[in-house]
Amino acid sequence: MLSGVTSDTAGYNGSFLGPTMKWTTGSTVLLNITNDLDADTSVHFHGAHIPADMDGGPQNAFAAGESWSPTFEILDEAKTLWYHPHALGTTAEQVVHGLAGLIIVEDDSDASAALPSEYGVDDIPLVLQCLATDSAGDIKYDLTGYLQNTLSFPVLCNGTNVDDTTLTFTATKTRTRFRVLNASPSDIITVQRGDGGTLTQIATEQGYLTSATEVESIRLVAGGRAEFVMDLSDAVTLQAVITTGWVRGGSGTYDFLTVTPDASDSPDDLPSSLNTIERYDTSSFTAREITLDQDGLEMAINGAVGTTMDSMATIMTALGSKEVWTITNTTMLEHSFHLHDVPFQLIEINGAEPAGVDLGWFDTYEVVGGGSIKIAMEFTDFADDTYMYMLHCHLLQHEDEGMMAGLMVMES
Ligand SMILES: [Cu+2]
């Protein structure tokens, strides 16, 4: 985390972060997970459309020394997901210490065939984190920790501090695909090119855009992901612009990766169409109001502080229900709204119609202080009258402070 000191960390199958999993659409996954921590944990598959009892939410928490073996079929199309703990009250602590990993879902679509997909060669993961660390190297996660005097906010790319070091990558193909995840507990990360050029965004966090879209930057709230490609003949440095998301946090612009091409191939033009996204007509959808609330230091959804399963608000719905939710941020704080189970489309962002990459599919989206978003979704495939999905703020401190509600999708 910081030079000259040693930090206690955690990881999946290692000391920090976790292996990237590749899932294939239509296949069945079985994971054998053993908890070697000294606390309860769960493993949530963020963005995956899987049964509620396999989702890895608080009801799936398992104790130190115990194991959990979820199994499910992959219904998702090609996209970039991630996995991380999701037990009650300990998510921030466990994620900031390193419990996070990427999931790449691969499918046999024409777009997937046309895009770079050789992991580590022309398909590169970028797990970005801005973490609070004291001068002794201890990683902080809660209010008490964040208010310490000696705090700094190192920026990490794939587990390496890039405050003073810029990672390097030699691209052996002219076109390289990048999958970027903001695994920070609360800070916002905007990715851009150091030379002012554009990034060719191909996917939001829930799959391909209808077509590749040139963007000046990609703004990711906590938990957000995106995919882009670059066709390079000269070296380019990627930058992470950090914006504080919580009571304190990082700030500034960091050169985190210099990509130097060493390639002579000429890639084909990108396909003119990557995906078909039918926009929802929400006129017949069931409307629902969700408020993100604050009561002192407690965070709430629809007025209920969700620090226990009994105290949190529960949204009850039926399998097949098509809904349009207005999510209103009644606080002046930044929030990152995350819905489990199914992807959503943005219908309105602070009263305006979405455009550009906001016409893609999402599972996590920014709700600025005093702002609102309107989203639409359809609850397909999975119903359960015992296990709930979750909806919550992905600023992990807010989640742990109670900005979380249950979502129960029932047969009828
Ligand atoms: Cu929040």
Centre of ligand 1 from the C-alpha of residue 394, in Å: 6
* Cβ-based neighbours of 113, under 8 Å, separated by 6 or more: none
CA of 320 to the centre of ligand 1 (A): 29
**pLDDT > 70: percent of the chain:** 100
Residue 274 is assigned to a structural domain of this protein: no
Residue 391 alpha carbon to ligand 1 centre in Å: 11
CA of 60 to the centre of ligand 1 (A): 23
Query: CA 355 to CA 333: how far, in whole Å?
Result: 24
Give me the pLDDT at residue 72, please: 98
Q: How far is the CA of 280 from the centre of ligand 1 (A)?
A: 27
In this structure, the answer to whether residues 403 and 333 fall within a common structural domain is yes
Model confidence at 39: pLDDT above 90? yes
Q: How far is the CA of 102 from the centre of ligand 1 (A)?
A: 23
**Structural domain boundaries enclosing 212:** 114-261
What would the pLDDT profile of 167-208 be if each residue is shown by its tens digit?
999 999 999 999 999 999 999 999 999 999 999 999 999 999
Cα of 188 from ligand 1 centre, angstroms: 12
CATH number for the domain that contains residue 394: 2.60.40.420
Q: Going by C-beta distance under 8 Å and a sequence separation of 6 or more, which residues neighbour residue 278?
A: none
326 and 398 housed in the same domain: yes
Q: What is the mean pLDDT of the chain?
A: 97
Q: What is the C-alpha to C-alpha distance for residues 324 and 288, in angstroms, rounded to an integer?
A: 6
Does residue 131 sit in the same domain as residue 195? yes
- Whether the predicted pLDDT of 149 surpasses 90: no
> What are the phi and psi torsion angles at 96 (to 5°)?
-65, -25
* Neighbouring residues of 382: CB distance < 8 A, sequence distance ≥ 6: 49, 50, 51, 52, 319, 341, 409
Last residue of a domain, one of 79, 107, 135: 107
In a domain, 89, yes or no: yes
Calculate how far, in angstroms, residue 343's C-alpha sits from the geometric centre of ligand 1: 19
> Among 218, 7, 131, which residue's Cα sits nearest to residue 396?
131
Query: 3-state DSSP call for residue 282?
Result: helix
Written as one letter, the residue type at 145 is G
**Ligand 1 centroid to residue 336 C-alpha, Å:** 6
Provide the percentage of residues in the chain whose pLDDT is more than 90. 99
Q: How far is the CA of 224 from the centre of ligand 1 (A)?
A: 14
Pick the closest to residue 79 from 102, 56, 58 (CA basis): 102
How many distinct structural domains can be found in the chain?
Answer: 3
The token pair at 111 is: 């777009």
Say how many Å lie between the CA of residue 241 and the centre of ligand 1: 20
User: What separation in Å is there between the alpha carbon of 140 and the centre of ligand 1?
Assistant: 18
- DSSP string of 179-234, one letter each residue: EEEE--SS-EEEEEETTSPPEEEEEETTEEEEEEEEESEEEE-TT-EEEEEEE-SS
What is the Å distance from ligand 1's center to 260 Cα?
38
Using CA atoms, how far apart are residues 130 and 220, in angstroms rounded to an integer?
12
- Are 248 and 164 in the same domain? yes
Ligand 1 midpoint to CA 371 (Å):
12
The reply to whether 287 and 383 lie within a common domain is yes
Q: How far is the CA of 400 from the centre of ligand 1 (A)?
A: 10
Ligand 1 centroid, distance to 25 Cα (angstroms): 32
Looking only at the bridges linking them, the beta strands covering 322-329 and 286-295 are: parallel
Neighbours of 11 (CB within 10 A): 16
pLDDT of residue 235: 98
Over 90: is that where the pLDDT of 384 sits? yes
Q: How confident is residue 295, by pLDDT bands cut at 50, 70 and 90?
A: confident
Once rounded to an integer, what is the mean pLDDT over residues 243-261? 97
CA distance linking residue 223 with residue 127, whole number of Å = 11
Tell me, yes or no, whether 14 lies in a domain.
Answer: no
100 & 134 share domain: no
Sign of the CA dihedral 131, 134, 136, 140?
A: negative
| Sole residue written with tokens 């990490």 | 156
Do 166 and 139 sit in the same domain of this protein?
yes
Measure 276 CA to ligand 1 centroid, in angstroms. 32
Q: Report pLDDT for 288.
A: 98
Cα–Cα distance for residue pair 240/202, rounded to 1 Å:
19
